[in-house]
Amino acid sequence: MERGESSGSTPAGDDIWAKLVPLDSGYSDIELRSNEVTICSEIKSSLSEKQEWCKITREKDQCSALMQNKSSTSIIVDGTVVHEDDMTIIRCGSEIILGPEADGFMRYMFKVMPAEEICKKQLKDILQSDSSLRRPSDEIAVLDSCSSIKSPLVLGSGRKLRRKRPRAPPDEENDRDFPCPQCGTEYAGFQCNGSTVHLQCQSCGGMMPSRSNATVPQHCLGCDRAFCGAYWHALGVAGSDVYSLCSHETLKPVLQSIDDNHFCHFTFFNISSSSVHVHLIADRSVPRIPFLAHEKNRHEQDITEKCIRQMGSSLQDVISEWIRKMGNREVDRTRLPLNHPDMITPQTYVCNDCYDKLVSFLLYWFRITLPKHFLPPEALNGKTAGTVTLCRTQHHNEEHALLQRNSTGCGV
């Protein structure tokens, strides 16, 4: 095990609250013990020299952290480029690449230690300090055999009870016994049992059964996070005071089937052998340019809007056209800031955050391929949005954003 070097400002004791786990098993985990830690480790797998590359500060929610890039080059966190001295939020499962690209650079997974493990360590320390508090080994074995917890995700009872009558609906039993609506009621021929694994929605916090054979996806392909909206909407399950359910808007296909006249076709997905189907609505609407577009430079975003008006088109039409080009493999996806970029198609289900990233990426390609006669006069004073250097100050300083546009342009 390696330890991160503490800055000494906010000690947290000897407990390990998080780890940086290398994806290369030949390297050791980096343990985080202080609330503010400077990380020094190998940057490239081909070099043994260790370098300081980030500072990690524990957040108040105890399950996320603020990471500042301290290296001399950009790094990638969950597919997003983080430049030198910039900061970003990392959560349990965040992937960190210690360079501007994956090839040749070390990759780490940020993992927060479960509260259960921390409590076990504290209990172990107490028992070691006072041997009289320890239980005999045979008594511990009996207690372990009676445990009803199988894993953090599998929710069920320790033994199966035989019922003389069918299970009562949720409102007649203790609602806390049912993690999700499908635990107490059968939908589309499926009902949860004691061994059903449940997924927690990253939007509403509610639970749903993990269904490997479900036709409607339960995960966003762009970030691999779970969202329950599409699943429950497919089954026709409505929200209630007992269960938290998302709107189906939280996880939708990139683009639905649209004919040449832009009239919407309805698409149906068969969930199981039952007659339950999903009725999908029209393609996603794009009412505005995402905040992330053009490195968050508002002046570049304004220029893009003017270009679209000059063409006599709309933002919705431009994005729909570029999504089709992407589906036809006419767009280089090297810089697409999503997981599994080669698997993204117009039919792929993505969450709203990933959709904004995708739209921002396509607007970059729209701008660098746009003929100059569509550009407004102010856009001709600087470089185009594609031949630029990245500037961090433009993200939060409007005057500098304008200066950056007029001198060197902005980023993607």
pLDDT exceeds cutoff 50 at 9: no
Report the number of distinct structural domains present in the chain. 2
Q: Counting beta carbons within 10 angstroms of the beta carbon of residue 395, is it exposed (0 to 12), middle (13 to 18) or buried (19 or more)?
A: middle
User: Which residue bears the tokens 């699943």?
Assistant: 231
* 197 occurs within a structural domain: no
Domain holding 389, by residue range, is: 293-407
* 403 occurs within a structural domain: yes
Reported as a single tens digit per residue, the pLDDT across 107-135 is: 999 998 876 655 666 677 777 777 777 77
Beta strand 268-270 pairing with 64-69: unpaired
* 160 occurs within a structural domain: no
pLDDT exceeds cutoff 70 at 155: no
* 346 occurs within a structural domain: yes
* 25 occurs within a structural domain: yes
CATH number at residue 107: 2.60.200.20
Indicate the residue among 90, 116, 142 that finishes a domain.
116
The amino acid present at 312, given as its one-letter code, is: G
What 94-97 contacts at long range (C-beta under 8 Å, 24+ apart), as own/partner pairs, is 95/23, 96/20, 96/54, 96/67
Cβ within 8 Å of residue 19, ≥6 positions away:
29, 30, 31, 32, 110, 111, 113
pLDDT at 52: 93
* 32 occurs within a structural domain: yes
CA separation for the pair 91, 83 (Å, rounded): 19
Please state, rounded to an integer, the average pLDDT across all residues of the chain: 75
Indicate the residue among 67, 86, 116 that finishes a domain.
116
What distances in angstroms separate CA 59 from CA 2, 40, 62, 88, 223, one per listed residue?
22, 20, 6, 12, 22
Reported as a single tens digit per residue, the pLDDT across 26-56 is: 888 999 988 899 999 999 877 888 899 999 9
Indicate the residue among 116, 142, 173 that finishes a domain.
116
pTM of the model: 0.50
As a residue count, the chain comes to: 412
Reported as a single tens digit per residue, the pLDDT across 68-81 is: 999 999 999 988 89
Alpha carbon 184 to its chain's center = 30
What distances in angstroms separate CA 362 from CA 357, 371, 389, one per listed residue?
9, 16, 18
CA separation for the pair 20, 311 (Å, rounded): 49
When mean pLDDT is compared across 168-177, 205-214, 327-336, the lowest value belongs to 168-177
* 153 occurs within a structural domain: no
* 255 occurs within a structural domain: no
